Amino acid sequence: MNKLRKIACLLLALLTVSSAFAACSESSNTDAKETQGNAGGDEAAVTTAAEETEIVYKATVPEGTNLDGYKYRVMVNDSSQYWADQNFVHDEENGNYINDSVLRRERAVEDILGCDIVPTPMQSVSSTTQKFVSANEDSADLVFISPVASAGLVTNGTFLELTTMEGLDLSNPWWDQNAAADLSIANKLFMAYGDISMMYKRTMSVVCFNKDIVNNNQLTSPYELVEQDNWTTETMAALCKGVAQDLNSDGQYVIREDIIGASMTPDQFPISLIAGGNFITTKDEDDIPQLTFYNEKMVSHFEALTSWLFNPELATVADSGANTDSFGQGKLLFQFCEMHCIPHQRNSETDFGLLPFPKMDASQDRYYHVINPNVACAMLVPVTVSNPAQVALVAEVLGAEGKNWVTPAYYDYNLTSRDTRDEESVAMLDIIFDTTKYDVAHIYDLAGMGSQLRSVASSKTENITSVYEKIEKRLTNEIEKIVEKYTEIGEE
């Protein structure tokens, strides 16, 4: 399995179930379930793909290991939620390639270890975890909770520190290495992301672009700009010039009604700043996050972003539904969104491609892409587990077999045939998934910084200095507070 395939197949965990464009999604369950059902294929297609699955990744398992039918309990979101789990909960084999690949991952792990994987769907995993840990009960081996929902639980000592768990090696290829590096504070790490569960990939930032508008206006291909390492805020804004068309001749450029260069929801604005290398916090040599947001570089990028985004002849800020409709109708050149939005274009006539979020300028050494911390559930291990080494062993095998079975399923059956229209998009996914960035202040939404920056976009505020000055003290205090709590965890 080549690198592009391995990386690109990660996408479809995030792609196959979503039916709403909202970042935190208030969409109905019914729509989500329908999308999942539509992802299925006939049994012959499943069998063929399964026969071609390459078993490349193997976790280290001591010879003779047999867990004697141990019930390994994995607590996940139930089906009452838009972001319901699809990586552990499944039906019997039914010809739906995704469902069946999850089932086959489960069977593989059970065969290797002699255990029984038991998904435990819950309406609120965070509150349930808090209750059973407070009662000192061993009720789950793994729980999957978003960073925002788990923040208070982490600092209260609810979870085990992952780097101290015997047998858990987060340097293995089925774990997200950027998460392992970025999410620690004071050299303590409690959350992990990777092939064990793909939900977080569905929340990652991406830019969709309309190829017909590019061709009709004889624009430089955005793919060429990426290849030339020149896909930046400036070059993107330049492509938007001259694209807008006032179709109803009312003297305005309105989403859904007219052709516009680009659009994003307010949620995508802070993500665009981070994509330009403007981090709210940066960790020092002692693994302590320091407030580094406000500086000349950030202000310069802010001005470049807002001069483009707030110019109605170039771009606009709109809600996710309006953006979805407009892009599907061929009225947007660029749409800034999350990965789970892409399946909504399956039935549209728009010939589109995928791009990373643009860099601030060509001197930036890499791209940065972030998750949605409100819904991107991370793996955590409750402090009440009775056998941490056993929990770690099964988690490693789940991760490895997830990379063998579930990840290719999302790619082979969905990405190539349905959700991307060209090979270049697959290469773009390689870039996106290799360049995740986890800023502690963004992940935990310290001082409501994300909300403040979203308000900047929705209100078209052009003075970032005044916004920052209002929140700086509170943000500093909350960073210091979380560092203090992390430092105290595990100390008597």
The pLDDT, as a whole number, for residue 90 is 86
Residues 410/11, Cβ–Cβ less than 8 Å: yes
Nearest alpha-carbon partner for 104 in 400, 347, 405, 396: 405
> CA-based Rg of the chain, rounded to a whole angstrom?
22
Element (H, E) at 281: strand 281-283
- Give the whole-number percent of the chain exceeding pLDDT 70: 86
35 and 130 inside one domain = yes
Write out residues in the chain with pLDDT < 70, as ranges.
Answer: 1-55, 346, 410-422, 492
Residue 352, beta-bridge partner list: 210
Residue 428 within any structural domain of the chain: no
Q: How far apart are CA 344 and CA 325, in angstroms?
A: 9
The pLDDT, as a whole number, for residue 429 is 84
Q: How many CB atoms lie within 10 A of CB 9?
A: 28
158 and 276 inside one domain = no
Nearest alpha-carbon partner for 279 in 150, 446, 434, 147: 446
The pLDDT, as a whole number, for residue 54 is 64
320 and 406 inside one domain = no
Q: Please state the domain count of the chain.
A: 2
324 and 457 inside one domain = yes
Nearest alpha-carbon partner for 38 in 82, 80, 98, 102: 98
137 and 233 inside one domain = no
Assigned token pair, 207:
């830019």
9 and 55 inside one domain = yes
Residue 192, beta-bridge partner list: 379
Residue 429 within any structural domain of the chain: no
Domain extent, residue 117, equals 3-202+373-419
Q: How far apart are CA 433 and CA 198, in angstroms?
A: 12
Residue 356 within any structural domain of the chain: yes
- ∠443-121-29 over CA atoms, to 5°? 80
pTM exceeds cut of 0.75: yes
Q: Tell me how far CA of residue 102 lies from CA of 92, 272, 420, in angstroms.
A: 10, 34, 22
| DSSP for residue 345 | G
355 and 398 inside one domain = no
Assigned token pair, 389:
């080494």
The pLDDT, as a whole number, for residue 28 is 32
- ∠44-56-200 over CA atoms, to 5°? 80
Which CATH number is 265's domain given?
3.40.190.10
Q: How far apart are CA 179 and CA 175, in angstroms?
A: 8
Nearest alpha-carbon partner for 287 in 188, 190, 186: 186
Residue 425 within any structural domain of the chain: no
Residues 31/38, Cβ–Cβ less than 8 Å: no
The pLDDT, as a whole number, for residue 426 is 78
Please give the distance of CA 320 from its chain centroid, rounded to a whole number. Answer: 17
User: Distance between terminal CA atoms of the chain?
Assistant: 48
111 and 217 inside one domain = no
